[in-house]
């Protein structure tokens, strides 16, 4: 999917054939076997991956995902998207992604810690604050980042907070990092509503995936006055036409660990959720959720791609023929996370920490600049927002590679 998308943009940008492979192939890919002791006394071997897409603009940067479907191909695609996202938002990074094929819900905390430490140990020759910096993604969180930082620091003999971002504030994390992706989604949806001259007050939103990104995006939209009418997680969805009380939902979530079963809403499936009529649809779970099969039934005014790759290229072709739908493509929509990760890395390197107001202000200014560039390009050249966003990102990497030349 990422390669197909790259080819379409490369055709549009008329990138010569001999530069394409250089832009497309990941620089480094590593697969590791991860044996750990399980709580029941058995030993299990998991598989972990890390792909660093390009190192032309600085270290690589990208999340680490724990999910049963993780493969090398998926990680490579996500790494490529990270490259375009970092370039689009002007960050001095190449893209990377990592993952472990596992179901974190079926592992105890002790097993997760052993798995994370083993993975970090295997990665030591491959990572570093100036080489490759990880962050949380699907199925990982601040605690996982803390274990990674600790393992790396023990190995180095001193604390190295800049080895990961998205770690707890108490050990060198940045205020506002946990909320950054969802907050950025909220900011960009609000900007899209301005562009479309839509009123936030009374607009309705549907959010697929009520995890880190989805829950904060929902809250952020609610703060702008939007009514969140449906949300979901891996167990199913809930719907209330009058709007879901997100504060009460959080209380329910704290007890039952899923949004399903919330008393003040009806149960719906994830399939129904995606085609629920609304003003703003926010896929914030997995990739390939909006496909040829359901894209025709989607009824929203703004599609805010908080997840990475939620729309397949086939569905995208159909969306191109539905100009009534305004798309905030993933490389722009969820960029808030990597932007504040960059701020965290900078703060760690300088050992000088900013206030939340400074972080949020810089985040919104960076997103604003990217949004305006993408919107202007899309309008001026009459291309989709996705094509515009990818063009800006890919062009920057292409120019950097050209300027640096080819060694030797
Ligand atoms: P998370 O693990 O915190 O939350 C994911 C949520 O999706 C959970 O509620 C999970 O139950 C739900 N889910 C899983 N499978 C589902 C399914 N089939 N249908 C509906 N819901 C499902 O992960 P996250 O960090 O919120 O990441 C979500 C998406 O955002 C991913 O695509 C990730 O790559 C992307 N993203 C995350 C960040 C970040 O800072 N965390 C930054 C950029 C992009």
**pLDDT interval class at 51 (50, 70, 90):** very high
29 lines ligand 1 (CB under 6 A): no
284 lines ligand 1 (CB under 6 A): yes
Helices 72-88 and 356-381: angle between axes, nearest 10 degrees: 90
Q: What is the pLDDT of residue 407?
A: 87
Domain extent, residue 225, equals 180-333
For the chain, what percent of residues have pLDDT higher than 70? 100
Atom from ligand 1 closest to the CA of residue 338: 42
C-alpha 261, offset from chain centre: 27
Query: Looking at the domain assignment, is residue 381 inside a domain?
Result: no
Nearest CA owner, ligand 1 atom 23: 138
Over residues 12-19, the mean pLDDT reads 95
The answer to whether residues 155 and 186 belong to one domain is no
Tokens matching residue 103: 């179901």
Structure letter (DSSP) for residue 263? T
Query: Looking at the domain assignment, is residue 229 inside a domain?
Result: yes
Over residues 301-311, the mean pLDDT reads 97
The answer to whether residues 150 and 186 belong to one domain is no
CA of 75 from ligand 1 middle (Å) equals 15
Q: Is the pLDDT of residue 148 over 90?
A: yes
Nearest CA owner, ligand 1 atom 15: 234
**Which CATH number is 328's domain given?**
3.40.50.720
Nearest CA owner, ligand 1 atom 4: 211
Query: Looking at the domain assignment, is residue 391 inside a domain?
Result: no
CA of 324 from ligand 1 middle (Å) equals 27
The answer to whether residues 218 and 107 belong to one domain is no
285 lines ligand 1 (CB under 6 A): yes
The answer to whether residues 144 and 243 belong to one domain is no
**Position of tokens 């492979």?**
21
Strand 266-268 relative to strand 302-304, pairing = unpaired
Query: Looking at the domain assignment, is residue 404 inside a domain?
Result: no
Over residues 261-272, the mean pLDDT reads 97
Nearest CA owner, ligand 1 atom 16: 234
Q: What is the pLDDT of residue 215?
A: 98
ω before 62 within 30° of 0 (cis)?
no
pTM of the complete model? 0.96
The answer to whether residues 192 and 322 belong to one domain is yes
Query: Looking at the domain assignment, is residue 174 inside a domain?
Result: no
Kindly report, residue by residue over 343-373, the tens digit of the pLDDT.
Answer: 999 999 999 999 999 999 999 999 999 999 9
208 lines ligand 1 (CB under 6 A): yes
Query: Looking at the domain assignment, is residue 6 inside a domain?
Result: no
Structure letter (DSSP) for residue 245? -
Asked whether 307 and 285 are in contact (CB, 8 A), the reply is yes
d(CA 337, CA 327): 19
d(CA 220, CA 189): 10
Kindly report, residue by residue over 71-85, the tens digit of the pLDDT.
Answer: 999 999 999 999 999
Over residues 208-225, the mean pLDDT reads 97
Mapping DSSP to helix (H, G, I), strand (E, B) and coil, where does residue 38 land? coil
Over residues 245-274, the mean pLDDT reads 97
Tokens matching residue 16: 């010569």
Over residues 20-25, the mean pLDDT reads 95
Nearest CA owner, ligand 1 atom 31: 307
The answer to whether residues 80 and 143 belong to one domain is yes
Q: What is the pLDDT of residue 354?
A: 98
Over residues 45-73, the mean pLDDT reads 97
**Position of tokens 């149960």?**
267
Asked whether 359 and 174 are in contact (CB, 8 A), the reply is yes
387 phi and psi angles, rounded to 5 deg: -60, -40
The answer to whether residues 88 and 223 belong to one domain is no
Atom from ligand 1 closest to the CA of residue 65: 34
Query: Looking at the domain assignment, is residue 366 inside a domain?
Result: no
Atom from ligand 1 closest to the CA of residue 141: 3
The answer to whether residues 103 and 209 belong to one domain is no
The answer to whether residues 133 and 245 belong to one domain is no
5 lines ligand 1 (CB under 6 A): no
Kindly report, residue by residue over 83-108, the tens digit of the pLDDT.
Answer: 999 999 999 999 999 999 999 999 99
Q: Is the pLDDT of residue 1 over 90?
A: no
β partners of residue 47: 33
CA of 283 from ligand 1 middle (Å) equals 9
As for how many domains the chain has, the answer is 2
CA of 23 from ligand 1 middle (Å) equals 28
d(CA 332, CA 184): 9
3-state secondary structure string, 337-402? HHHHHHHHHHHHHHCCCCCHHHHHHHHHHHHHHHHHHHHHHHHHHCCCHHHHHHHHHHHHHHHHHH
The answer to whether residues 184 and 153 belong to one domain is no
Q: Pick the last residue of a domain from 159, 192, 215.
A: 159
Over residues 188-217, the mean pLDDT reads 97
Kindly report, residue by residue over 367-395, the tens digit of the pLDDT.
Answer: 999 999 999 999 999 999 999 999 999 99
The residues annotated as belonging to the active site are 97
**pLDDT interval class at 408 (50, 70, 90):** confident
> 240, 298, 306, 296: which is closest to 268 by C-alpha?
240
The answer to whether residues 193 and 232 belong to one domain is yes
**Which CATH number is 104's domain given?**
3.40.50.10860
The answer to whether residues 139 and 189 belong to one domain is no
Maximum separation of any 2 CA atoms in the chain, in Å: 65
Q: What is the pLDDT of residue 103?
A: 97
d(CA 307, CA 173): 23
Q: Assign residue 316 a region: left if phi > 0, alpha if psi is -120 to 50, beta otherwise?
A: alpha
Q: Pick the last residue of a domain from 159, 194, 216.
A: 159
Q: Is the pLDDT of residue 214 over 90?
A: yes
d(CA 338, CA 325): 26
Q: Pick the last residue of a domain from 99, 130, 159.
A: 159
List of residues 6+ apart from 397 with CB closer than 8 A: 23, 54, 56, 57, 83, 84, 87, 94
The total of other beta-carbon atoms located within 10 Å of residue 31's CB is: 12
β partners of residue 282: 207
Query: Looking at the domain assignment, is residue 53 inside a domain?
Result: yes
CA of 290 from ligand 1 middle (Å) equals 15
């Amino acid at each position: 999917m990422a390669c197909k998308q790259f080819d379409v943009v490369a055709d549009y940008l008329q990138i010569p054939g001999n530069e394409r492979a250089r832009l497309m192939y990941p620089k480094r890919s590593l697969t590791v076997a991860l044996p750990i002791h399980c709580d029941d006394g058995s030993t299990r071997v998991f598989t972990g991956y890390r792909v660093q897409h390009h190192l032309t603009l600085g270290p690589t940067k990208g999340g680490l995902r724990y999910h049963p479907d993780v493969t090398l191909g998926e990680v490579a695609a996500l790494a490529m998207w990270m490259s375009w996202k970092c370039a689009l938002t002007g960050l001095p990074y190449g893209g990377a992604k990592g993952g472990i094929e596992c179901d974190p819900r079926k592992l105890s905390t002790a097993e997760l810690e052993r798995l994370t430490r083993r993975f970090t140990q295997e990665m030591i020759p491959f990572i570093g604050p100036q080489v490759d910096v990880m962050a949380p993604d699907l199925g990982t969180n601040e605690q996982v980042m803390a274990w990674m930082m600790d393992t790396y620091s023990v190995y180095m003999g001193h604390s190295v907070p800049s080895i990961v971002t998205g770690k707890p504030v108490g050990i060198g994390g940045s205020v506002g990092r946990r909320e950054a992706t969802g907050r950025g989604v909220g900011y960009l949806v609000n900007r899209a509503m301005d562009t479309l001259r839509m009123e936030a007050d009374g607009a309705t939103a549907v959010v697929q995936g009520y995890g880190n990104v989805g829950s904060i995006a929902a809250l952020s939209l609610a703060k702008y006055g939007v009514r969140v009418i449906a949300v979901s997680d891996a167990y199913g969805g809930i719907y209330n036409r009058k709007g879901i009380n997100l504060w009460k939902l959080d209380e329910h979530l704290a007890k039952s660990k899923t949004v399903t079963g919330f008393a003040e809403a009806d149960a719906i499936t994830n399939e129904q959720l995606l085609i629920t009529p609304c003003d703003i649809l926010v896929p914030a779970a997995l990739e390939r959720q909006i496909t040829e099969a359901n894209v025709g039934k989607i009824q929203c005014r703004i599609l805010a791609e908080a997840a990475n790759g939620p729309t397949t290229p086939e569905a995208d072709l159909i969306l191109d023929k539905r100009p009534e739908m305004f798309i905030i493509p993933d490389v722009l929509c969820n960029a808030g996370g990597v932007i504040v990760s960059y701020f965290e890395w900078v703060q760690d390197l300088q050992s000088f920490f900013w206030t939340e107001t400074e972080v949020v202000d810089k985040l919104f200014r960076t997103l604003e600049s990217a949004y305006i560039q993408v919107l202007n390009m899309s309008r001026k050249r009459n291309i989709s927002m996705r094509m515009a966003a990818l063009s800006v990102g890919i062009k920057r990497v292409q120019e950097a590679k050209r300027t640096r030349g080819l060694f030797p």
